[in-house]
Amino acid sequence: MKSLLHKIGFLLLLINSFINHAQELSIPADNSVTLTTNSSLKRKPLGSYYGYERSAFIFTKDELNQSSAISIQGLSFYCDTINSLIATNTPVKIYLKASNDSLFSVPTIYSTEILNSFLVFNGSLSSSQFSENSWITINFNSSFVLPVNSNLKLFIETNAGGAGNESSLSKGFRFKTSGVKKFQYWQQDQTEPVGAGTLDTLRPNIKLLYSVASICNGIPNPGTIQLNDTAVCKAASTSCYISGQTNATGITYKWQQSIDQLNWTIISQSGNSLQLTIDTLTYVRATVYCNAIDSSITPVVQVNNLLPVYCYCANNLGGNCSGYSIDSLSIQNTTFAMSLSGCENNAGSHYSYYPPLGAATATLTAGETYSVTIRQTGNNYSSLWIDYNHNGDFEASEWTRLSINSVTNGVQTFSLSIPATAYNGSTGMRVRSRNSSFPITNTQSCTNFSSGETEDFMVSISGGLYIGIEEPNSLKHQGIIFPNPASEKIYYQNALVKGELDFLIIDALGKLVYQQKSTHQHVSLIQANLSKGLYFILVKQNSILLQSVKLVVD
């Protein structure tokens, strides 16, 4: 009897092992060559000729042919083309969701398509992972449970950024016709695509790696929320996702947001990933349910707004700087001296942003006049704006005309007067060029041009007005941060301020990286663990800004 029980137990283990063993499903079964001259289609879904490429697939329940819920753990695409210009690394995201759709009836918006989807892969693919005439496998960070009798939607993003990092066909993939439009793609340089996609009956061949899904039981592991951004521009969208949670049949999600961590509002999105628009400091959490009964809650995360000076218009600026570029630019008697060597970005929006480091930044004194020297590669108009009031807009009153015509490769010098009413601190400076046949007016800091280029920098203003301080000359605002530069401990010293202070640390990109409340008396220790770089420490009391101090961590 005991021997029989052992045999039955062993047989059950074998059956369970077989059921849960990873299996492969090829769609279509035929992986033979299909010819096309459409490189946009051929490089999908993992090419990165454009800065931002998106692909969407539909697989029907008949194609999947599954009799139970399955746990999808990875996928493969057949690569049959590689050239020497393949990118060293390409950032990739993969989303999945169940759907009732059996085809794309009309072109759609990508951000709408991926609502309520599950982020299953977030990482980079290296060139060494691609071999010609072989299946390229991507194992997911998190598995996805597809209910029985459901169609599957698959979304793949490549996010090289800028104008892309490959040729039009550095890597190509095999595909077949699905008979109807079950494939859609989007592609755009500089910024993520926002328009409708392109539909096609041709669809890349795929292998899905899966096993029979388990059923959740008891209190699930909620995992943790991973943020794509800790701060974004006001009214901008961002996304986040849950990792490390229980993945099984019966797992569902309820997202919530709050501005005070006391009153929570339900967000009507149901996947493990979330698309969110941020207007103010926002707290986010998710409840993970097993069979709508047992549940657990993720730790709370927060997303803040970037300072306005990091949110200037940078999309749809147009241009064509070949022959109309800014070749070099300097502000005399300052550190600002850019040797740009012609057009820095002769693609997409013809826009370049330079971090505030070395010769790409300067400290300008309010009330002073400087000489600006510019060299251009053609006969151009050129203009300069500085955001003196730090409101995130380059306004007409902040405009300085440079050239109305320029000698090709000739050097010209113009005056730049910093108003006495300029606000202190870091702010934006924009320089634009344009064919001299078309003037640049003071209201055209964000206008789409057909020629020229746009270059953005950050500069600091000193000797001007303080932001948000009623008594700019009061001694209570003259505390010091020490040591500066710092390497370990950071202190704030001010004998004229007592009580509770808020310390906020902003990095060079405008992101809030640390926040602390302290009961201050003479000296406070700021307990931030910062990596090397440039930061700004904001000191507040009762929501009033007392000081903004630049800090260097070395």
**Which residues make up the CATH 2.60.40.2550 domain(s) of the chain?**
311-462
* Confidence (pLDDT) at 552: 87
224-305 topology per CATH:
Immunoglobulin-like (2.60.40)
Question: Hey, what are 393's tokens?
Answer: 């807009």
* Confidence (pLDDT) at 13: 40
**Which residues make up the CATH 2.60.40.3080 domain(s) of the chain?**
475-553
CATH architecture of 475-553: Sandwich (2.60)
- Please tell me whether residue 12 adopts helix, strand or coil conformation: helix
Residue 130, amino acid? F
What is the Cα–Cα distance from 146 to 458, expressed in whole angstroms?
A: 48
CA distances from 358 to 362, 372, 454, 458, 459 (A): 8, 17, 20, 11, 11
User: Over its length of 554 residues, how does the chain's per-residue pLDDT go in tens digits?
Assistant: 445 444 444 444 444 444 456 799 999 998 888 776 777 789 999 999 999 999 999 999 999 999 999 999 999 999 998 998 899 999 999 999 999 999 999 999 999 999 999 999 999 999 999 999 999 999 999 999 999 999 999 999 999 988 889 998 999 999 998 889 999 999 998 788 989 999 999 999 999 999 999 999 999 999 999 988 888 888 888 889 998 899 899 999 999 999 989 999 999 988 899 988 888 889 999 999 999 999 999 999 988 888 888 899 988 888 887 778 888 999 999 999 998 665 655 555 688 888 888 899 999 999 999 999 999 888 999 999 999 999 899 999 999 999 998 888 889 999 999 998 898 888 999 999 999 899 999 999 999 998 988 999 999 999 888 764 333 444 445 688 888 888 888 988 887 788 889 998 988 766 788 899 988 877 889 988 898 888 888 888 887 778 888 888 88
What is the Cα–Cα distance from 309 to 467, expressed in whole angstroms?
A: 13
* Confidence (pLDDT) at 343: 63
* Confidence (pLDDT) at 340: 66
DSSP string, 88-140: SEEEEEEEEEEES-SS--S--BHHHHTTT-EEEEEEEEEGGG--TTEEEEEEE
* Confidence (pLDDT) at 432: 94
Query: In the block, which residue shows the tokens 């969208």?
Result: 237
**Which residues make up the CATH 2.60.40.10 domain(s) of the chain?**
224-305
pTM: 0.68
* Confidence (pLDDT) at 548: 81
What is the Cα–Cα distance from 495 to 320, expressed in whole angstroms?
A: 56
What is the Cα–Cα distance from 554 to 551, expressed in whole angstroms?
A: 10
* Confidence (pLDDT) at 322: 76
311-462 belongs to CATH 2.60.40.2550: yes
- Please tell me whether residue 23 adopts helix, strand or coil conformation: strand
- Please tell me whether residue 481 adopts helix, strand or coil conformation: strand
**Which residues make up the CATH 2.60.120 domain(s) of the chain?**
20-212
20-212 topology per CATH:
Jelly Rolls (2.60.120)
* Confidence (pLDDT) at 20: 52
What is the Cα–Cα distance from 451 to 433, expressed in whole angstroms?
A: 8
